[in-house]
C-alpha cells in the first residue's frame, strides 16, 4: 500500500520599498515600536489609502521572473477577518483579479526536472505584530502594518518535504536576484504557510487539508511537513480523517499544534476596495520591467560553468545566493584565479559561516581581502597552511591579510641561500635519517622536511625545502 503526500504553499514576502503600500511611512525594520505609523496604516476614520506604484512594479517584476502572465486589469479587495494586530478589521489584498497568474518554478527530482506551478501572485498589506510578554500581557506594534507584501500561491504539485525545500530555495534565490525582497526570514520578511494532505493510492481515500501557519525557516517547513505526513498516514490507516484546521509548528516539542479551525473563502466576505480604483496595466510598462530584469540564478549558473570552467555543483552552490555569487565574481576579478576562489569560498568561508550561523552579508572582510590572501599564497609570500591561519583571523577580526601577515611575522622564507643553510644543518644533525632515506625509506624525507620547517618556525617555503633536501642528500 502506498501513500502520496500533496503539498501546496502560500508564501508571503515583504517588498524592499522605502515606504508602505498605502502611505508614506517608513518600512525600516527594527525601529522603535509604533514610530512608523500614521492615520492611514492605523486605519483611522476618514484616512484614505493611496497605492504605491513601486509595489505594483515589484509585483510585476516577481511575476515575470516566475514565468507568470501579467494581468491587464487588476484591483484591490477587502479581506475581512478579526485578528488583534489587524487594526482596521480588514486587510487590503487581492481576490479574483490578481496581478500575476499561471507561472512556474522548475526543480530537480530523481526522475528529472519537475515544474511546480504558481497559481497566482498578488499584492497586499502586512498586519501589525503581537508581542507576548510571558506574564500574560500582549502588546501591539503597528510598525509592520501596511508594509507591502507579495503573496505567492503554488498549486499542490509538491509530493515531499524535499521537493518543497527545493521550491522554497529557488523562490528565495530569484526574489533576491531581482531585488524585490531581502528574504531575511529571521526578520519576518519571508514567511511560509503550508497546505498538506495525504492520499491512499490504493483506495483513493485522502485526508482533509491541514494548513501549517507562519513557518519562518525552511528547516521548520521540512520538519512540519514530515510530521504532518506521518500524522495523516496514521489517520488513514485507522480509517479516520483530519479536521480542516490551521496548525503551527512547535520547535520545542517537534510537533504541530492546533491553532483554530480553518476559515473558508466565504468567511472573509471579500468585496472590491472602494477607496482604490481598478488598475489597467499597460504592456509598454510590463515590457520595460521585463527588459530591465537582471540575470537570474539558472542563467548565472550556466555562465559560471562556461566562463569560469567550474563544475556544475560548484556553480550551483555559488549562484544559490545573489550576494554569494556577487562576492565570488568580485573576488575573481581581483585574484584572476576562478577555481582557487571557488575552493576558498565553498570550503573555509561557507563552513565558518555555517558554524557561526551567519549570512554572507554579515561577513567581516571584503572580496578584495580574500583576493589579496590568494595572491599572497600564489606568489609564495605565505604557504597554504599559513593562509588558513590568516583566513581565520580575517574571519574573526575583519583585518586585511597583508596587515595580519606583517603583524604576526608570517612572511614565507623563499630565499634559497637561507633555506640551504637550514637544510644543511638538518642533514648534519640527522645522519641516521639520511641513511634511512638512501636505503629507500621515503618516510625519512618527511621527517627531515619537518625538522627544517621546525627550524624556520614554519616559514620556509615547503616546495623549496623538499627540492633542496633531495638535491643536497644526493
pLDDT tens for the chain, residues 1 to 474: 589 999 999 999 999 999 999 999 999 998 999 999 999 999 999 999 999 999 999 999 999 999 999 999 999 999 998 888 888 899 999 999 999 999 999 998 888 899 999 999 999 999 998 888 777 788 999 999 999 999 999 999 999 999 999 999 999 999 999 999 999 887 888 999 999 999 988 888 899 999 998 788 888 999 999 999 999 999 898 888 777 888 999 888 888 988 877 666 678 899 999 999 999 999 999 999 999 999 999 999 999 999 999 999 999 999 999 999 999 999 999 998 999 999 999 999 999 999 998 888 899 999 999 999 999 988 878 888 889 999 999 999 999 999 998 887 777 666 677 778 887 887 778 877 777 767 777 777 778 777 877 777 777 777 777 787 777 877
Give the pLDDT confidence score for residue 172 in this predicted structure. Answer: 94
Cα gap 198→225, rounded to integer Å: 11
Cα gap 308→316, rounded to integer Å: 13
Is the separation of the CB atoms in 33 and 85 below 8 Å? Answer: no
Compute the 3-state secondary structure of the chain and give helix, strand, coil in percent, each to the nearest 5: 45, 20, 35
Give the pLDDT confidence score for residue 415 in this predicted structure. Answer: 63
Give the pLDDT confidence score for residue 264 in this predicted structure. Answer: 64
Length of the chain: 474
Give the pLDDT confidence score for residue 32 in this predicted structure. Answer: 94
Pairing of strands 148-154, 245-250: unpaired
C-alpha of 394 from chain center: 23
The set of residues, in sequence order, having a beta carbon less than 8 Å from that of 10 and lying 6+ positions away, is 151, 152, 153, 154, 192, 193, 195
Give me 275's grid cell: 477607496
* CA–CA distances in Å: residue 443 to residues 158, 427, 449: 56, 15, 10
Give me the domains of the chain, ranges plus CATH numbers: 3-284 (no CATH), 312-408 (no CATH), 416-473 (1.10.10.410)
Cα gap 9→99, rounded to integer Å: 18
- HSE of 18, CA atoms in CB hemisphere, 13 A: 0
Amino acid at each position: 500500500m502506498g501513500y502520496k503526500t500533496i503539498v501546496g504553499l502560500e508564501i508571503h514576502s515583504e517588498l524592499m520599498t522605502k515606504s508602505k503600500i498605502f502611505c508614506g511611512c517608513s518600512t525600516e525594520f527594527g525601529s522603535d515600536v509604533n514610530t512608523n505609523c500614521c492615520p492611514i496604516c492605523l486605519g483611522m476614520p476618514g484616512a484614505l489609502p493611496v497605492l504605491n506604484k513601486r509595489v505594483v512594479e515589484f509585483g510585476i517584476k516577481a511575476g515575470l521572473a516566475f514565468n507568470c502572465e501579467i494581468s491587464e486589469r487588476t484591483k484591490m479587495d477587502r479581506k475581512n477577518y478579526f485578528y488583534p494586530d489587524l487594526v482596521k478589521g480588514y486587510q487590503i489584498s487581492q481576490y479574483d483579479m490578481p496581478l500575476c497568474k499561471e507561472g512556474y518554478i522548475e526543480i530537480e527530482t530523481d526522475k528529472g526536472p519537475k515544474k511546480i506551478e504558481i497559481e497566482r501572485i498578488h499584492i497586499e498589506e502586512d498586519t501589525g505584530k503581537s508581542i507576548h510578554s510571558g506574564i500574560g500581557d500582549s502588546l501591539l506594534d503597528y510598525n509592520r502594518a501596511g508594509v507591502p507584501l507579495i503573496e505567492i500561491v503554488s498549486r499542490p504539485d509538491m509530493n515531499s518535504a524535499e521537493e518543497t525545500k527545493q521550491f522554497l530555495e529557488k523562490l528565495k534565490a530569484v526574489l533576491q536576484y531581482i531585488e524585490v525582497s531581502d528574504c531575511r526570514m529571521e526578520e519576518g520578511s519571508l514567511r511560509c504557510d503550508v497546505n498538506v494532505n495525504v492520499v491512499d493510492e490504493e483506495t483513493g481515500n485522502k485526508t482533509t487539508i491541514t494548513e501549517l501557519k507562519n513557518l519562518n525557516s525552511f528547516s521548520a517547513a521540512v520538519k512540519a511537513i514530515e510530521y504532518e505526513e506521518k500524522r495523516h498516514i496514521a489517520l488513514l490507516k485507522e480509517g479516520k480523517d483530519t479536521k480542516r484546521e490551521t496548525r503551527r509548528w512547535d520547535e520545542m516539542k517537534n510537533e504541530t499544534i492546533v491553532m483554530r479551525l480553518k476559515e473558508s473563502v466565504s468567511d472573509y466576505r471579500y468585496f472590491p476596495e472602494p477607496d482604490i480604483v481598478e488598475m489597467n496595466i499597460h504592456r509598454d510598462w510590463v515590457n520595460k520591467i521585463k527588459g530591465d530584469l537582471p540575470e537570474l540564478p539558472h542563467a548565472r549558473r550556466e555562465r559560471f560553468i562556461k566562463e569560469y570552467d567550474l563544475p556544475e555543483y560548484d556553480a550551483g552552490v555559488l549562484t544559490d545566493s545573489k550576494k554569494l555569487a556577487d562576492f565570488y565574481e568580485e573576488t575573481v576579478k581581483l585574484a584572476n584565479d576562478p577555481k582557487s576562489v571557488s575552493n576558498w569560498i565553498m570550503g573555509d568561508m561557507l563552513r565558518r559561516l555555517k558554524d557561526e550561523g551567519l549570512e554572507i552579508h554579515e561577513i567581516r572582510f571584503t572580496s578584495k581581502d580574500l583576493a589579496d590572501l590568494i595572491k599572497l599564497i600564489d606568489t609564495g609570500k605565505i604557504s597554504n597552511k599559513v593562509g588558513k591561519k590568516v583566513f581565520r583571523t580575517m574571519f574573526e577580526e575583519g583585518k586585511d591579510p597583508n596587515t595580519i601577515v606583517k603583524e604576526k611575522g608570517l612572511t614565507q622564507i623563499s630565499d634559497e641561500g637561507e633555506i640551504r643553510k637550514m637544510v644543511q644543518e638538518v642533514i648534519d644533525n640527522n645522519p641516521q635519517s639520511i641513511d634511512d632515506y638512501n636505503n629507500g625509506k621515503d618516510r625519512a624525507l618527511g621527517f627531515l622536511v619537518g625538522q627544517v620547517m621546525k627550524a624556520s618556525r614554519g616559514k620556509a617555503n615547503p616546495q623549496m625545502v623538499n627540492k633542496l633536501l633531495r638535491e643536497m642528500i644526493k
